[in-house]
Structure 1
């Protein structure tokens, strides 16, 4: 749809968003977004008016990312306010995260290779002063490309970028600046409050021409000028072509790991920042509630680490939970033994650093006679298997998935 002339008809109010890592704040933002017409979102969602004018998009991703509010929360409340047809575009956007999650679960080698390649790219920077200078120029917003530099600063200062802007930024990073996509993906993960291993990794691969082989994304000055409402117009500054990257490896498709059942016996509940609503599902059945903070990762911003930590604390408030420390594996084992149980339950943790951490710990759990139950939510169970090709297959199944969740439309 051509939106030229839209702003003669509609004035979008100024609206910044404060990312408070609590469920209450997430629900308040959702309510504010849903109070507008669905057409308001559909007409304006691709425009980035800057961090002070966010009324055209939901900006819910930091809360959904950590499941302070869940996809099912968003879908249920959306369909209570809007018809499925009028909210169709927004509902589809909600399912993109599930698509990326499901696709990566079925192609785990993508994550393994990304971690390996990122380590190599960082080592290359350490040994090449010229490459390191180019990298620092980009992440410090000193390239001379006004839009790119502004977005680099906005990312660092706010922890957020509009989705359309993320695509432009990644395209400029790869095809204009000639920097490795892995370093760009890592830069996003350092600073995005909604940084998600699946969505982020696969989006950078898609822009680069690796996710959909041979199909890359080119950031065009005219597109940037239009969808930033004239704030930027980088004519003559961007690469006119985006030759897709290639890799000499085909990532095999594997079955999604099975979800464990909730044990029919006493258990300890382990809560991670991957699913901050797990206590609402199972805390009243658990002997103990343990909260596992994500250790601050290399290069991770203080803002991102604080958001994850406070989100986890909010999730277990009122449940008499224990916040685990650096010796968390033994703490879990000793807590389970004191409760006379060998069952540990956690909400299924998708591929990423937290899953890597749990996979390592599971060896110690097994040696201590403990069993880790990774219980998957119905939303993921219904959505992920559809994500074995492109998003179109997931989109076609949305009515069926909503029906399976009791949200028939």
Structure 2
């Protein structure tokens, strides 16, 4: 895995530079083909880095536009915006993440008989078994394989969608609460009501170059029905767009591991860095050995680059307050806190910090600020805005 996904920003930038010339026709024509582990692929393999913002969405598109027009690289650019769309959509509906956790806990308390065979790749379904084992062993699956896997899980094996989302979240290097949860809901017909994704043997055979042609797949995909009603979107919280003047402490989280690119950071770096140990829920959700180690190594790479004194503290309501007490800087700068496993305990900590007279300075990327408001419905509403959003970001060929 260290060779497949080195955990440094420099390695991420090098991968981006190597991929960018191929982000046009080669990507568009080959991105749906799962060639199997260890073989050259048309996809970028950048998502674990984008997920943690070891490289940013803007950097990825900017590098690609050095080699292609926006029209030629349209498919890749859309995939970058998909990830932002998922985040914005969930951020405006945090109750969907809470509902997923409720579904997950209920299903884990009494898992179906076939659940263990599914996650161990012992179902007898060609392809599905290979993908289950590949995921656990590598922390990675081709995006098309993820869709096939989720469809077979839900419609052929009749397993709870939340258990499948949990399996992916535990092991995928690039899993985040938004893209993982909402992608599973999309396959199940819960994200876009009534619209499902059906895995077909001929499609799998075609896009695996004949490696797999599973038999006895579900002939149709009846949308799942749930009592939960998707809430109306709420506007995302307002936040600052640059680091403050004067001394501050930085709270570093894996949602944004390139704070050096925040406006104002270069001229006013933090006095100190604080890193929270994973909460029990966070550790439970991201328990795959490869995925959790990647997160730790990526975080360490950011700490090394920032080169400031670092303190690790417990993610409890009092842990962060105690760590900040006695510091000369009474401001804590944090990246925008997205809906996810660490949000509840961190929010309790932030309330306690403010009660103790410590100012919390939350930073939101301008990229998110511009794109998220368009994630109110399906992706295709946002898709129409991509040229305008790129121009707004100053991204031109």
Q: Same fold (TM over 0.5)?
A: yes
Aligned to 2:218: 239
**Structure with the higher helix share, 1 or 2:** 1
Q: Is the 8 A contact 1:17 1:54 kept in 2?
A: no
Aligned to 1:254: 234
Tell me whether 151-160 or 21-30 shows the greater mean CA deviation. Answer: 21-30
94, 113, 116: which one aligns with 2:80: 94
Q: Is the 8 A contact 1:293 1:309 kept in 2?
A: no
Deviations along 1:374-403, one digit per CA (max 9) or x if unpaired, are 210011111111110111122111112112
Alpha-carbon distance in 2 for matches of 1:364, 1:81:
49
Alpha-carbon distance in 1 for matches of 2:340, 2:52:
13
Structure 2 residue ranges without an equivalent (≥5): none
Deviation at 1:255, TM superposition (A): 1.5
Aligned CA RMSD, in angstroms, stands at 1.9
Q: Is the 8 A contact 1:399 1:408 kept in 2?
A: no
Deviations along 1:279-303, one digit per CA (max 9) or x if unpaired, are 4433743222223353561261121
Change (3 A) 1:195 1:327: closer
Q: Is the 8 A contact 1:272 1:293 kept in 2?
A: no
Change (3 A) 1:325 1:340: closer
Alpha-carbon distance in 1 for matches of 2:373, 2:87:
10
Aligned to 1:292: 276
Question: Do structure 1's residue 353 and structure 2's residue 338 form an aligned pair?
Answer: no
Tell me whether 283-292 or 371-380 shows the greater mean CA deviation. Answer: 283-292
Aligned to 1:228: 208
Alpha-carbon distance in 2 for matches of 1:370, 1:305:
31
Question: Do structure 1's residue 154 and structure 2's residue 134 form an aligned pair?
Answer: yes
How do residues 179-194 of structure 1 correspond to structure 2 at under 5 angstroms?
179-194=159-174
Structure 1 residue ranges without an equivalent (≥5): 1-15, 126-130
Alpha-carbon distance in 2 for matches of 1:289, 1:245:
45
Deviation at 1:90, TM superposition (A): 0.6
TM-score (norm 2): 0.92
How do residues 23-42 of structure 1 correspond to structure 2 at under 5 angstroms?
23-36=9-22, 38-42=24-28
Change (3 A) 1:169 1:37: closer
Deviation at 1:336, TM superposition (A): 3.9
Deviation at 1:95, TM superposition (A): 0.6
Deviations along 1:15-71, one digit per CA (max 9) or x if unpaired, are x96111111111111112123361111111101011122331101101111111111
Tell me whether 183-192 or 75-84 shows the greater mean CA deviation. Answer: 75-84
Alpha-carbon distance in 2 for matches of 1:280, 1:384:
20
Q: Is the 8 A contact 1:293 1:323 kept in 2?
A: no
Aligned to 2:389: 401
How do residues 309-348 of structure 1 correspond to structure 2 at under 5 angstroms?
309-318=296-305, 319-326=307-314, 332-334=320-322, 336-348=324-336
Aligned to 1:8: none
Alpha-carbon distance in 2 for matches of 1:192, 1:67:
16
What SS is found at the alignment partner of 2:373?
helix
Change (3 A) 1:17 1:85: farther
Q: Is the 8 A contact 1:75 1:91 kept in 2?
A: yes
Q: Is the 8 A contact 2:317 2:345 kept in 1?
A: no
Deviation at 1:265, TM superposition (A): 4.1
Q: Is the 8 A contact 2:196 2:221 kept in 1?
A: yes
59, 64, 68: which one aligns with 2:50: 64
Deviation at 1:350, TM superposition (A): 1.3
208, 217, 233: which one aligns with 2:197: 217
**Number of residue pairs aligned between Structure 1 and Structure 2:** 387
